[in-house]
Structure 1
């Protein structure tokens, strides 16, 4: 098992290096002048030359890459040209919104998907199963930003239960901050909950047909106890991998949802930086997103092998 963990960590490092190279090549090496992209084609040559010098674009690409990676490892992400402040400060401020939003969305998605998926499998082809299948079809078909707009119209503008947008900050109290995250978290969670519900239902049905479940029922164990002790624990093993993969969808969906609800998170920062052609911020934000997804999937992969005794025995 120790060798397995070392192998996964080595694979994590290689993947992070490959991703960083791809980001650097796309934004700084491929044909095109990054300075001209940021300032526009109408900028004067002396202004472009000054920006190239400020960003180190007059240095060799290999030197620029190692300078950037060294800065990332030490927390020095450079200076934003648009905001005129360190990118690390920008990301830290915005991360305090995106991280709670993503965690809340993951929790809601899991709390909805697990009972619905198990119930649909336990009462297969009954009204519960049909209702769950309708929910999953609607959840997959409806985009999260459209859900966000509907929630604003109903729960913010109509019923006035939650704020329509904005974020008061954690300094204003945990209650108002969480209230501002409820609607965007639900809008972010429901489409992924629909996907996860289908996975849970399929995994539960597969376990229900296993020999050890039939043996447990033959020994007189009740259906409820069989589900609780044998079916659900084994069905959750493949679900853990899907939860890790869904993190990338939560981050991607956060870009749209944060803009719909005007939340000052990483997704909105990426969108604003793209509009303002601030390549310094874009490069770092994309690397942060990619790094988080890769790290979480590595942790999930190791956890999956720890949970499954069959894979653990092979390690």
Structure 2
């Protein structure tokens, strides 16, 4: 337990350094954006004198390091700037949009994990027989399908041809939980299937390797119940898929941005699209930074789960 706490504290202690690196990368990249903050804030009818005054008042003429440290000072206070007129705090816009993106990501992740376990374990138990062959073909097809194209197909089939679900839009769960599930079903499925297909192959490979180990043959020869053997095998087999789960969650966070645009969901994807099309540097900067930090937090959590599942690494 002491070794686990030491490693966990080491992972958590690295987070501020990584956040600083992410903030620096996002800030520097967006400084080369062709968008003119003064032009976006004042409009095309503003005089050159007004634009120059705006740039001076907001520190746009300061050297890059000065602007970066000013950005960090605002970031520590939770100030991500304001959007172009009509001016709104970027933090408020993100606070409204990010919960929806998080809901979509968690729903997609939960569905992906369930499908991966069902398909992966079934394939391993029926190795080289017809269920295994079917699931392997389906998983390869799922990996090859881009989530955005899959989303369009799902809308075509289950919202237009067979009107079981809405084509888009969002229903707040506080207003109608059933309506919320309907509005999130197709987006979460489009997000989950490619990830589930990839994870299912990892689960199958790990399960097959574990089923061939000596301790499994010994347990079977000793007459232990198959359910107990499968639980032990599954616990050991999940170590490898868990190592890539953090990367998959990051993929789902970025994929959710595209899926939200397809299904007209007012999440982070809508904010990024609004910021890019409107030349709103502060909005793009805030949303990208939030998604990057969320990805970092998820990877730290997955690292801690990996330490819990695999005790051997605690001695490293």
Aligned partners of 1:78 and 1:103: how far apart in 2?
28
SS in 2 for 1:264: coil
Contact 1:238 1:304 (C-alpha < 8 Å) held by counterparts: no
- Give the drift of 1:76: 1.6
Q: Which runs of 4+ in 1 moved over 4 A?
A: 30-34, 36-44
Which of 294, 297, 310 does residue 308 from structure 1 map onto?
A: 310
Contact 2:207 2:234 (C-alpha < 8 Å) held by counterparts: yes
The change in CA–CA distance for 1:310 and 1:176 in structure 2 (over 3 A counts) is same
Match of 2:131 in 1: 128
Aligned partners of 2:218 and 2:56: how far apart in 1?
73
Which of 211, 217, 221 does residue 218 from structure 1 map onto?
A: 221
Contact 1:140 1:194 (C-alpha < 8 Å) held by counterparts: yes
Aligned partners of 1:69 and 1:89: how far apart in 2?
18
Match of 1:159 in 2: 162
Contact 2:168 2:264 (C-alpha < 8 Å) held by counterparts: yes
The answer as to 2:264 corresponding to 1:262 is yes
Match of 2:8 in 1: 5
- Give the drift of 1:35: 3.5
Match of 1:81 in 2: 84
Aligned partners of 1:235 and 1:188: how far apart in 2?
24
Match of 1:182 in 2: 185
Q: Which runs of 5+ in 1 are unaligned?
A: none
Mapping 1:36-115, distance limit 5 Å: 45-53=48-56, 55-115=58-118
Aligned partners of 2:36 and 2:256: how far apart in 1?
27
Contact 2:37 2:280 (C-alpha < 8 Å) held by counterparts: no
Match of 1:207 in 2: 210
Which of 227, 233, 237 does residue 235 from structure 1 map onto?
A: 237
Give deviations 1:200-235, integer Å, cap 9, x for gaps.
Answer: 11111121122222221222224443112x211111
Q: Which runs of 5+ in 2 are unaligned?
A: none
The worse-fitting range, judged by mean Cα deviation, of 43-52 and 67-76 is 43-52
Aligned partners of 1:306 and 1:87: how far apart in 2?
37
Match of 2:249 in 1: 247
Contact 1:16 1:291 (C-alpha < 8 Å) held by counterparts: yes
Contact 1:27 1:34 (C-alpha < 8 Å) held by counterparts: no
SS in 1 for 2:169: coil
- Give the drift of 1:170: 4.0
Mapping 1:191-202, distance limit 5 Å: 191-202=194-205
- Give the drift of 1:74: 2.3
Give deviations 1:212-266, integer Å, cap 9, x for gaps.
Answer: 22221222224443112x2111111222222221111111111211111111000
Aligned partners of 2:55 and 2:253: how far apart in 1?
32
SS in 1 for 2:238: helix
- Give the drift of 1:283: 0.7
Match of 1:274 in 2: 276
The change in CA–CA distance for 1:153 and 1:4 in structure 2 (over 3 A counts) is same
Mapping 1:24-35, distance limit 5 Å: 24-28=27-31, 30=32, 34-35=36-37
C-alpha RMSD of matched pairs (Å): 2.3
Aligned partners of 2:245 and 2:142: how far apart in 1?
17
